Structures are given as structure tokens and as C-alpha cells.
């Protein structure tokens, strides 16, 4: 095989990989956006009508569909301008080098302990709270518009922020690594039509953040004292303190450690087998 043939093959492979990458990203974000799902269903409906019109030779409906397909892309860009902008902003917020700070085991346990301690107090006293933990996607957009704190995380500080009559208690807290970065942050609400109407603004904001970023959103209901976590576009409602703790420890676990732990476990098993033999 000549050098030109190898280069041509590499170009084709790169071309195919880029197309699959775009499709993967579109499909990944499609399920998080209700409007985009409706748009996708509408496109499928138009394509089905076009097939029917061609099979049955329906001139009028075929003419209308041809014009809709011709001018459809331009109309979608105009109508769905906010959604397209959000996708581009999400690309810009993505951190190629991973999360803001990779926590050690001790740091992760301390962060979870402080958060859980504050949540236990907040739920018993029915104090509303919204805590957002940054992961791979940067939340600088929301930090810039909120009150900067940059303090070590502690249950006392979290409780004081959300305590009634505190000027910052209505907004959300953003945590980066083991630091409370800001308070009084305002987040977009979820547009998911399936979410219960009984859930308030905090739950909708938590789910909205989980739909647009990879953050962990923790909510304490002011009315019921129930705790919830929104992550990966899903809202886990009415969790116990132990469930919150286990879920946070798992979600904050570094991705690399999963591989290392698996290798360690395999190594331990191999050592055990050698000793048994």
C-alpha cells in the first residue's frame, strides 16, 4: 500500500469519526432538551409525510413538504436560536482537563461529611437550600453573577448561608472541589413537562442544571424538609441522609480511580490465588 493510499484511508477514517462524534453529541443532548425532542419528532413526522406523498403521488402535500424541507433549516435556526446558543455555550464551558479539582479520598469524605451534616440540620428545621457541586463542566457563568466567597467548606457556613433572613439564602451555593466558591447564584429552571407541579423553584433549578451541565444538584425542601439530588438529567426525590451520603461519595469519585481500583482488586485476587497455590 502506497503512502497516498494510507493518507486517503486516514482522512476517510477521521471524516467518519467526526461525523459519529457530532451525532453522538447531538443524541446525548437531545434527551436533555424537551424542545429538541419535540423538534426531532416533528422532523420524523414530516419525513413520514413525504414518503406517503411520494408513494401515493399526492401533488399538493408533496409540494408543501418540499418547500418545508427547503426552508426548514433556516426557520429552525431562527426559531431555536436560544437552544443552539445554549449548546454552543455548553461546548465552551466544557473543561478538557477534567474537573476543577480532583479530590483525594480524605478530601472527598470531608466534603461529603460537611454537606451531609448541614443537610441534616436544614431538613430537621425545614430550611430551604440548593447546593450545586461543579464537576467537568465549568460553572463560571453562574459564579460571575453571584456573590463570591471562596471559603473552606463547612457545615456551619452552609447552614448560615441558607438560614432565613440571610440575604443570600434564596439563591444557590456553588462548590468547586473542597471550597464554597459563591452563594446567591441564580440558575435556569428545567423545561421538562414531566416534572411534578408540586415541586418548587429549587427543584426545577436543580434539574435544570443537571440537564445542561454534569454538576450535582442537592435540594432541601423548605415546605417538607425532604432531600433530593438531581444528576445526569434525573431527579432523585425524597432521599434519606444515608442515601445522600452514598450517592455523593459515588458521584464525586474520580473517574481515574475507578480503573485503578479495579486493577488493585485484580492484583489482590492474583496475589490471593498465588498464596492459595
Residue in the block written with cell 440575604: 167
Note whether 110 and 168 are same-domain residues: yes
- What is the tens place of the pLDDT at every residue in 240-273? 999 999 999 999 987 654 444 444 544 555 444 4
166 vs 155: CA distance, rounded Å: 16
Point out the domain boundary residue: 30, 59, 93: 93
Residues 240 and 135 grouped into a single domain:
yes
193 and 128 in a common domain: yes
User: pLDDT category, 212, cuts 50, 70, 90?
Assistant: confident
Q: Is 46 part of a structural domain of the chain?
A: yes
* pLDDT value for 101: 60
Give the tens place of pLDDT for each residue, 152-170. 999 999 999 999 988 888 8
Flag whether 16 is in a domain.
yes
For the segment 196-223, the average pLDDT, to the nearest whole number, is 91
Structural domain span for residue 23: 3-93
pTM of this prediction exceeds 0.75: no
At residue 151, the pLDDT reads 94
Shared-domain flag, residues 110 and 84: no
Number of domains in the chain: 2
Q: Are 136 and 99 in contact (CB under 8 A)?
A: yes
As a whole-number percent, the residues of the chain with pLDDT over 70 amount to 78
Q: Report the pLDDT averaged over residues 83-88.
A: 64
Q: Are 109 and 213 part of one and the same domain?
A: yes
List pLDDT tens digits, range 117-163: 999 999 999 999 999 999 988 888 899 889 999 999 999 999 999 99
132/240 same-domain check: yes
User: Are 150 and 203 found together in one domain?
Assistant: yes
pLDDT tier at 68 (50, 70, 90 boundaries)? confident
Asked whether the beta carbons of 188 and 205 are under 8 A apart, the reply is yes
- Unique residue bearing C-alpha cell 454534569: 214
Q: Is residue 275 included in any domain, yes or no?
A: no
Strand order, beta sheet including 234-239:
147-152, 179-185, 172-176, 129-133, 216-220, 227-231, 234-239
Could you count the other beta carbons within 10 Å of the beta carbon of residue 115? 24
What's the chain's average pLDDT?
81
| 137 three-class SS | strand
Question: Of the segments 2-6, 83-87, 92-96, 165-169, which one has the largest average pLDDT value?
Answer: 165-169
**Residues 89 and 172 reside in one and the same domain:** no
**One domain for residues 21 and 79:** yes
- Say yes or no: 119 and 249 in one domain: yes
Amino acid at each position: 500500500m502506497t503512502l497516498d493510499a494510507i493518507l486517503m484511508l486516514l482522512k476517510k477514517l477521521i471524516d467518519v469519526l467526526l461525523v459519529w462524534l457530532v451525532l453522538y453529541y447531538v443524541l446525548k443532548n437531545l434527551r436533555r432538551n424537551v424542545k429538541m425532542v419535540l423538534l426531532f419528532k416533528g422532523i420524523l413526522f414530516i419525513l413520514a409525510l413525504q414518503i406517503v406523498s411520494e408513494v401515493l403521488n399526492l401533488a399538493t402535500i408533496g409540494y408543501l413538504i418540499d418547500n418545508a424541507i427547503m426552508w426548514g433549516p433556516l426557520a429552525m435556526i431562527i426559531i431555536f436560536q436560544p437552544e443552539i446558543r445554549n449548546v454552543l455555550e455548553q461546548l465552551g464551558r466544557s473543561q478538557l482537563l477534567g474537573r476543577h479539582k480532583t479530590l483525594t479520598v480524605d478530601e472527598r469524605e470531608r466534603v461529603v461529611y460537611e454537606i451531609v451534616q448541614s443537610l441534616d440540620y436544614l431538613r430537621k428545621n425545614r430550611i430551604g437550600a440548593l447546593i450545586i457541586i461543579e464537576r467537568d463542566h465549568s460553572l463560571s457563568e453562574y459564579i460571575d453573577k453571584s456573590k463570591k466567597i471562596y471559603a473552606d467548606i463547612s457545615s456551619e457556613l452552609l447552614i448560615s448561608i441558607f438560614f432565613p433572613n440571610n440575604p443570600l439564602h434564596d439563591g444557590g451555593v456553588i462548590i468547586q472541589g473542597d471550597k464554597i466558591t459563591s452563594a446567591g447564584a441564580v440558575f435556569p429552571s428545567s423545561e421538562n413537562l414531566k416534572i411534578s407541579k408540586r415541586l418548587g423553584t429549587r427543584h426545577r433549578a436543580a434539574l435544570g442544571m443537571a440537564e445542561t451541565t454534569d454538576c450535582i444538584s442537592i435540594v432541601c425542601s423548605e415546605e417538607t424538609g425532604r432531600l433530593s439530588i438531581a444528576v445526569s438529567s434525573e431527579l432523585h426525590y425524597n432521599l434519606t441522609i444515608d442515601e445522600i451520603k452514598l450517592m455523593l461519595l459515588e458521584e464525586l469519585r474520580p473517574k481515574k480511580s475507578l480503573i485503578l481500583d479495579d486493577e488493585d482488586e485484580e492484583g489482590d485476587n492474583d496475589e490471593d490465588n498465588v498464596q492459595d497455590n
